[in-house]
Amino acid sequence: MNTGQDGRPIRRVLIANRGEIARRVIRTCQRLGIQTVAVYSSADAQTPHVQEADLAIEIGPPPAAESYLDTERVLAAAVDSGADAIHPGYGFLSENPEFARRTEARGLTWIGPSADTMLLVADKGQARIEMDRVGVPVSRGCVVQADPDPELIAEEVGLPLIVKACAGGGGIGMQVVTELGSIAEAVDRVRTFGERFFGNPGVLVERYLPSAKHIEVQVLGYHDGTVAILGERECSVQRRYQKVIEEAPSPRLDAGVRKMLYESAQRGAEAIGYQGAGTFEFLVSGRDVAFLEVNARIQVEHPVTELTTGIDIVEQQLHVASRGSVGRRLNVSAEVFPHALELRLYAEDPNTFFPSPGVLERFRVPNWEGVRLEAAYSEGNVVSQYYDPLLAKICVSGASREEAIQTALEVIDATEVKGLKTNLPFLRQVLMHESFVAGNYDVGIVSQMKNST
Amino acid sequence: MNVVSPVMANVWKVLVLEAQSVDAGEPLMVLESMKMEIPIEASAAGQVRLFVIEGDVVDEGAMLAIIETT
């Protein structure tokens, strides 16, 4: 282990999260000889992440606001357990600059980008202006002030357009507008929504591209200011603006466009002094590239990047946060595959996508070669309505895209889930869908599937 | 007319008052389950009798309200 002079050794990490991502972080910590502390709400007492950590601390009742989102309880658990660092996972407190500041203020290491970076990218309007300034391609659009002139917006941006809450995320607080007469009302509604739910009335209007691909680039910013690019992920299979299947690399991506995406992410990350793991999201339509947002955290779909690069992204996060004390920079620690898919197994109706909490009476996913399972629950667990519907991520790799898809279909057929509804049949439909098989699908794929049945 | 919950959920926001008159299709409340908002609308016009308050946890099929049609 390299403990440089500037290093901040990490010996015990508290994971301020639950489910599969908490287990994922525990796994890398164990490999690196770092102790782990889990936190959990009373709803999660029986879930695997609690059992797998070296130490587990109950921090409150089921509602996230009183447990996983309660910064004081999480910080108290970290201090009481003797942790020297906090890994926030994704969601919950992961992009909360105030929480990062308070973590550092208590003398603990924050495993993630700095609070200043998080503040900058949390506002989509501000991030857009900054990226535009350093030459990252953005779509036609603008931040909208109070009492906007709809005609001016329509002229500047064009129709259709999408109205977004500057502080929104996860597909919440967005509205597509197709006609001039609806612009003012949509801006008003999104502004009210943003103010009420995110405490930020900022509104951004951008040209809406109905048939674009959602492609994102994984960056790793190091403590010496350099930025590494770990390739792209294709994330166009979405329902309610949330991803369902991701893959790496993006099939049929033009080499010139790929180069432009990588250079844009690199330039953007370097310009803002990005440190740690992050994702630059883009929309790609033909040869047009438009920056969407930066996600200052590890992402749900990071495994497809790990499978195609052999790099453990959690190890890299620990390496950067510890200023080189933990792990090795860009260490290729696992086998590298030409192609990888991630299927998000959700507890939901496969047709309506309506949530389906319940008891996971039976839960078996085949443990085959080329299959990596990231499960949030184990058999017998209650899957409650308090948290997101992600049961597990089924990650499949192969020597080719065709092979990975074939393996994924076989895994789906051999997977058994009883006690609640899942989207397994839907995942199968996507993998069999003509445009998915051809690799030329875009964000319209799910609505096309729904319209043709 | 009974208004029941389509899923196990938390009652996030109640948008009407006890004994308020509503039209068919008018939003009564918003449930929240697995981070998804589920709007609940009046199935008929009438007067609302509420069975839940904000923060309640309801099972699938639980009674949320009755619309008394006159």
Could you give the angle at the alpha carbon of A192 between the alpha carbons of A147 and A239, nearest 5°? 115
- Which pLDDT score is estimated for A5? 53
Q: Mean per-residue pLDDT for B7-35? A: 95
Cα torsion A52, A57, A59, A65: sign = negative
CB–CB contact B10 A388 (8 Å): no
- Which pLDDT score is estimated for A1? 42
A167 vs A195: CA distance, rounded Å: 9
Active site residue A128: no
- Which pLDDT score is estimated for A243? 96
Name the stretches of chain A with pLDDT < 50: 1-4
Q: Supply the DSSP symbol for B61.
A: T
pLDDT in tens, B40-52: 999 999 999 999 9
Orientation of helix A424-432 relative to helix A401-414, angle to 10°: 150
The average confidence (pLDDT) of chain B is: 95
- B33/A contact by beta carbon, under 8 A: yes
| Identity of the residue numbered A241 | Y
Name the pTM for this structure. Answer: 0.94
Q: Could you report the predicted ipTM of this complex, rounded to two decimals?
A: 0.87
- A63/B contact by beta carbon, under 8 A: yes
Q: How far is A251 from chain B (nearest CA, A)?
A: 31
Q: Say if residue B32's pLDDT is above 90.
A: yes
- Which pLDDT score is estimated for A194? 86
A 10 A CB-CB count for A104 gives 14
A257 vs B45: CA distance, rounded Å: 56
Considering only CB atoms, which chain A residues are within 8 Å of B8? Answer: 357-358, 384-385
pLDDT in tens, A253-308: 999 999 999 999 999 999 999 999 999 999 999 999 999 999 999 999 999 999 99
